[in-house]
Amino acid sequence: MSKYITTPIYYVNGEAHIGHAYTTFIADTMTRYEKLKGEDTYFLTGTDEHGQKIEESAQKYGKPTQEFADEISATFKNLWDEFEISYDKFIRTTDSDHKKGVQKAFEVMYAKGDIYKDFYEGHYCVSCETFFPETQLVDGEFCPDCGRATSIVKEESYFFKLSKYEDALLKHYADNPDFILPRSRANEVINFVKGGLRDLSVTRTSFTWGVKMPESLNDDKHVMYVWLDALMNYITALGYGKDDANMKYWPASTQFVGKDILRFHAIYWPAFLMSLDLPLPEHIGAHGWWTRDGEKMSKSKGNVVSPREVADAYGVENLRYFMLREVPFGQDGDFSQRALIDRINSELSNDLGNLLNRIIGMSGKYSDFEIDSVDVLKYHKKELDAMDEALSNLDDFMQNMQTHRYLEELWKLFAIGNKAIEEYAPWVKMKENKRDEALATVALVANILAKASIMLSPVMPKTTNIIADALNFTIDNSSYKELVLEKKLLKLFNIKSVPPLFPRVEEPLMTEAPAAQPNAPKNTAPEVKDDKKEEDNLIEIGQFFETSLKVGIVVEAEEVPKSKKLLKLQVDLGEGINRQVVAGIKEFYCAESLLNTQVCVVANLKPAKLMGMMSEGMLLAAKDEDGLCLIRPEKPKKVGTPIG
């Protein structure tokens, strides 16, 4: 059975950041895993290059639009090549074959009656490339998602009958509960669809940078709108609209996206596919966002993490391991050098690297580097059974995209190996003339390292190839079948010495992110003593201005499982990236009632973890004997508006 794995195509309005790297790492890891198992697997990534925002960015830099798109797209492709990402195709929406495929799809939908022409008038946000009804705008003008000013656009447009597929989508979600992973993300999509779908504008006439209409429609003034164009890349990459050469890989097994674009992939995309009479992907996997040292990343703060910078400092495979181990898939993660260094030193250097070094040293001393598995089963059946049990658990974790659990389970093998060395003490056995027992323990650890390196290879392919070379075997489907599935042991071999795989890191290797600064400077006026008692808790005006209070809008809200008090909110403060706020208001507000409502937020509060979730602010509220109510602006205000 073939597999098809995709990342979203990355928008060429800036170079790759750590979030792009995470999406690509997890897709690459799953691809390598499936290929290791012998599955015929196709991996797609690429760039999204059309739309008004790209056209305007190119004009800003004084460059032809195609030249601008070429330059930014190349930064993504070059980075993935440097990181040795194993993609089979890097697609660009400016590719001629892609454009032909989009035009064919448009013709099929139009002939089916799913696309019609009409006029559209509404508030349009260029940054979000989305129309918004006036009821959703802030102050009747500003975008509810990014806070930027919208403009009223009235133009002729072709519309896709999204509303036609409302019932079919809801049925698909019900019949396929794992269509959206993690499952906790499905409710927001289902509720959105249940709220009613409006037909979708899929062409524009106010700019020209996009896919032209099919010649059969003879309507040159229209270009296809971003989402119809962009989403089709997943099938045009396989030859749809040209030769269908690789359409055998469709439907996709797993399509990875960030949670901010889940709605487009879980609603628009399956509706388009239904219209084209094509099967739907098996899974849409939506991952969370990354912060840095507990803070949202932004260019203005100067704390955006460059994946190239981290890889240059710590090694790309260490970065891969950290990101896939650090956070459960679907939840937000935090990048900090200290956390990265801790995992390198503790898990990679101590647990794995030292284990390899120890058996190289012992085998050299006891058997002239020769290792024979002949007596392993005789002396170490208990350890072999524990290892096989851990190995048998791995596939479920990978199939459910839980790479953190996959690696956690895999690390049990290294714990078994390290414990065996301490428990059986080969150096003592050698002194007691129990050579067979000592060498059996060394061979046990060699087999643990071999089997573990096979299963670690999708995450750290270069590092595990070094381990495999030291153990005189090759990581491929054959060794996977023999050593993992069939539970065989290594044949007689000579181990090779290798330099330390993971040198310890004693201090941060990158410049630390700048510390968060309050919005207003501290009051530097001379201190004035007062006779009032300390119990009055009076503060200086400067202390008050150290607190940053801002107006925000709740864009996502969900209950925290197993908690009677907590709701998890995504709040837009006009920073370009939403903040996660965990608030103890569940007894007084349901999650749905907070969507698209404004709140007042303490914006420079030190992030804290509540039930394992990072909270990056606090809502202002008043509580008395009648209950609790949130403090809100009297009239809607632009997101990010300071309070004071």
Are 451 and 567 contained in the same domain? no
Are 487 and 355 contained in the same domain? yes
Residue with the larger pLDDT of the pair 140 and 101: 101
Look at the chain and count its residues. 644
Q: What is the pLDDT of residue 643?
A: 87
Average pLDDT of the chain, as a whole number? 91
* CA atoms within a 13 Å half-sphere pointing along the CA-CB vector of 152: 4
Range scoring the smallest mean pLDDT among 17-31, 151-165, 472-486, 581-595: 581-595
Are 463 and 548 contained in the same domain? no
**Is residue 138, in this structure, part of any structural domain at all?**
no
> Are residues 10 and 47 in contact, defined by beta-carbon separation less than 8 angstroms?
yes
- The pLDDT tens digits of the residues spanning 45-62 come to 999 999 888 998 899 999
Are 589 and 483 contained in the same domain? no
pLDDT bracket for residue 124 (50, 70, 90) = confident
Residue with the larger pLDDT of the pair 573 and 78: 78
Q: What is the pLDDT of residue 527?
A: 41
Are 461 and 345 contained in the same domain? yes
Query: 496 in the Ramachandran plot: left (φ > 0), alpha (ψ -120 to 50) or beta?
Result: beta
Q: What is the pLDDT of residue 515?
A: 60
Q: Is the peptide bond before 607 cis (omega within 30 degrees of 0)?
A: no
Tokens of 102: 């989009």
Answer yes or no: is pLDDT of 131 > 90. Answer: no
Answer yes or no: is pLDDT of 532 > 80. Answer: no
CATH assignment of the domain containing 631:
2.40.50.140
User: How many whole angstroms separate alpha carbon 358 and alpha carbon 398?
Assistant: 30
Give me the mean pLDDT over the 24-46 stretch: 98
Are 358 and 487 contained in the same domain? yes
Amino acid letter, residue 585: I
User: How many whole angstroms separate alpha carbon 197 and alpha carbon 133?
Assistant: 13
Are 382 and 447 contained in the same domain? yes
Are 591 and 476 contained in the same domain? no
Answer yes or no: is pLDDT of 446 > 50. Answer: yes
**Is residue 571, in this structure, part of any structural domain at all?**
yes
Q: What is the pLDDT of residue 520?
A: 38
Tokens of 312: 């240059």
Percent of the chain with pLDDT over 90: 72
User: How many whole angstroms separate alpha carbon 200 and alpha carbon 158?
Assistant: 8
**Is residue 28, in this structure, part of any structural domain at all?**
no
Give me the mean pLDDT over the 466-473 stretch: 98
User: 433, 465, 494 — which closes off a domain?
Assistant: 494
Q: What is the pLDDT of residue 559?
A: 87
- Looking at the structure of the chain, the number of domains it has is 2
Per-position DSSP letters for 128-196, written without gaps between them: TTEEE-GGGSBTTTB-TTT-PBPEEEEEEEEEE-GGGGHHHHHHHHHH-TTSEESGGGHHHHHHHHHT-
Percent of the chain with pLDDT over 70: 94
Give me the mean pLDDT over the 602-624 stretch: 84
**Mean pLDDT highest for which of 73-77, 545-549, 591-595?**
73-77
Q: What is the pLDDT of residue 478?
A: 98
Range scoring the smallest mean pLDDT among 25-39, 86-100, 517-531: 517-531
Are 633 and 542 contained in the same domain? yes
143 among annotated binding-site residues: yes
Are 482 and 363 contained in the same domain? yes
User: 472, 494, 516 — which closes off a domain?
Assistant: 494
User: How many whole angstroms separate alpha carbon 86 and alpha carbon 28?
Assistant: 6
**Closest listed residue to residue 334, CA positions, set 378, 297, 282:** 297
Are 400 and 346 contained in the same domain? yes
**Is residue 410, in this structure, part of any structural domain at all?**
yes
**Of all helices (H) and strands (E), which one includes residue 25?**
helix 18-36
Q: Model pTM?
A: 0.78
User: How many whole angstroms separate alpha carbon 134 and alpha carbon 115?
Assistant: 25
Answer yes or no: is pLDDT of 222 > 80. Answer: yes
Answer yes or no: is pLDDT of 109 > 70. Answer: yes
- The pLDDT tens digits of the residues spanning 476-498 come to 999 999 999 999 999 999 999 99
Give me the mean pLDDT over the 258-265 stretch: 95
User: How many whole angstroms separate alpha carbon 324 and alpha carbon 374?
Assistant: 36
Are 455 and 574 contained in the same domain? no
Contacts of 513 (CB under 8 A, 6+ apart): 292, 293, 295, 301, 302, 303
600 among annotated binding-site residues: no
Phi, psi of 260 (to 5 degrees): -70, -20
Structural domain containing residue 575: 534-643
Which residue shows structure tokens 């009656």? 113
3-state helix, strand and coil shares in percent for the chain, rounded to the nearest 5: 45, 20, 40
pLDDT bracket for residue 522 (50, 70, 90) = very low
**Is residue 59, in this structure, part of any structural domain at all?**
no
Helix, strand or coil, per DSSP, at residue 67: helix
Give me the mean pLDDT over the 538-542 stretch: 52
**Is residue 34, in this structure, part of any structural domain at all?**
no
Contacts of 411 (CB under 8 A, 6+ apart): 347, 351
CATH assignment of the domain containing 361:
1.10.730.10
What letter does residue 205 receive in the DSSP assignment? S
User: 494, 514, 547 — which closes off a domain?
Assistant: 494
Phi, psi of 370 (to 5 degrees): -90, 135
- Does the CA dihedral 165-166-169-170 come out positive or negative? negative
**Is residue 279, in this structure, part of any structural domain at all?**
no
Q: What is the pLDDT of residue 101?
A: 98
**Closest listed residue to residue 224, CA positions, set 51, 64, 97:** 51
**Is residue 293, in this structure, part of any structural domain at all?**
no
∠ CA 210-213-217, rounded to 5°? 170
Give me the mean pLDDT over the 579-602 stretch: 86
